[in-house]
Chains A and B, each alone.
Chain A
């Protein structure tokens, strides 16, 4: 337990470093934020000076950082110039869209990749093994934005089996009462079968697109870890003791192989947070990535700054969870 506690504590300086870098990034951004805020042509030089003072931009960098920290502590991520709304509120509204997509994609990737890697590891050099390696290599080479667009062409334009990629829900349907923010789950809670179906169909293609990319490293690592585990002494002992093959593979070998696989899952999740931006763009998904991209285009920096900070915080949290899970499933890692 002390190990877990220390690990949690060690995330704090990293988080602080992330805040510093995010702060510095926006200070080197081109342009004076006050001029952006005061974009109204009727504003005089003294008005702009007033805005600067209001934003704390006339003070030394050190003071500005303290102001920034103070705002962060109150959950204030600044205000978007484009929408005029607080960035934090916009994120709260959009985060469930991104989370629903990313989590479903992650689930899909794990459910497909782990069995694939397992089957490949059981018969190294076989046709299945080569097929898995081919899929894995193609998977990491395929840009997500290209595979997403091609999937849209095939399943929406050609086959017509999936809806137009215009966001989370058909515009003619009403969103279910908000409980979790996940449309599929909220639809189930309020018992609206049609809405659930529609939301799931919208989710399917972007989730598959992201999962395709995440598949490769997971399948590769499962294969390598399973081969290592199957070749180890304790498996030989288990075989000699006459345990059944299914029991050896699924219980003893897989449990030991899970350790590197869980570590890879953390890495894959980082990829997915990045790929999220591209996939949201391709599918007009109203998540936080799409918001960040729109804000770059509009030279609206508060949302971008908030986005980078939120993504890094999520990533730090994911790594923390991975490390804790590692300690929990591997008693050797606990002192």
Chain B
């Protein structure tokens, strides 16, 4: 993106940020979540795995801010410590599908031909499945593990990146700078890596930031169903699933706090995606 020797562009970004306080909130929330994810275990008052049946199912209090679950574990500690895992799953899945999808989309967009036809048809077929259902089936097929939740989430998102990279790249194949590079003796791969992929990066990054919130919801939904993360690992989706049994008998806190954490994180990602789109898309920035 922008090199540090472009003060004008930075000023534009800062001005745009200041004008829209919601964007500032999004960046703030995102920074906070990253900080909690990194520091997680250092911040919490209790061991997130330590059970103590003497204090099971207690509502929020001064000693247990978010209350305790059916095994007497401190929910505040569990919610905080879970941040890292939830964030890593979402980031890992989105990074995987963005990199793999961009490269594949760029290659078929550049060369076209039979490979393009085959991959495009495959993408059409993948997009014919409801995303969450396909992710569910993939985790069941690949095996019930956290890594496979990441792969499944990445695979179901792959088509969007392939399509986007392909459609962004195609019209650029014949542009002046590509011709110039070719005249200068650059080979196809060099043109692709050095000239074309950097030029289509912005829309792909925007797509990735919009995608993060969805990836997190998808992964948490899978673990809510018992796929991927296993107890007693603290993870928001599985914590909600554990609390679901108690919602009909009034212990609301077991579901509410991990649920709120999940919602806040997804909200931060969605706002961040909107903000990045406004900032990086010069057509929208005025």
Contacts and interface: CB of A to CB of B under 8 A. Distances in A.
B263 to A, nearest CB: 5
- What bracket does the count of chain B residues touching chain A fall in? 35 or more
Given A29-B140, A137-B267, A312 B262 contact: no
Contacts of B130: 270-271, 273-274, 311-312, 315
Of B138, B249, B270, the most chain A CB neighbours within 10 A belong to B270
A201 interface: no
A274 B132 contact: yes
B133 A296 contact: no
A316 B121 CA distance: 14
Q: Is the interface of A mostly helix, strand, loop or mixed?
A: helix
Given A140-B270, A274-B132, A149 B255 contact: yes
Nearest to A21: B125
Interface in B231-250: 237, 240-241, 243-244, 247-250
Contacts of B137: 22, 25, 304-305, 307-308
Nearest to A27: B141
Contacts of B256: 150
Interface string B246-274: 01111010011001101110110011000
Interface in B132-149: 132-134, 136-138, 140-143
Q: Is the interface of B mostly helix, strand, loop or mixed?
A: helix
Given A143-B262, A293-B225, 9 more contacts: A15-B128, A143-B220, A143-B240, A149-B244, A150-B256, A150-B259, A277-B132, A296-B136, A304-B137
Interface of A: 13-15, 17-18, 20-22, 25-26, 28-30, 137-138, 140-146, 149-150, 152-153, 156-157, 164-165, 270-271, 273-275, 277-278, 281-282, 292-293, 296-297, 301, 304-305, 307-308, 311-312, 315-316, 319
15 contacts: A15-B128, A25-B137, A26-B141, A140-B270, A142-B263, A143-B240, A145-B241, A149-B259, A150-B247, A270-B131, A275-B132, A301-B140, A304-B137, A311-B130, A312-B129
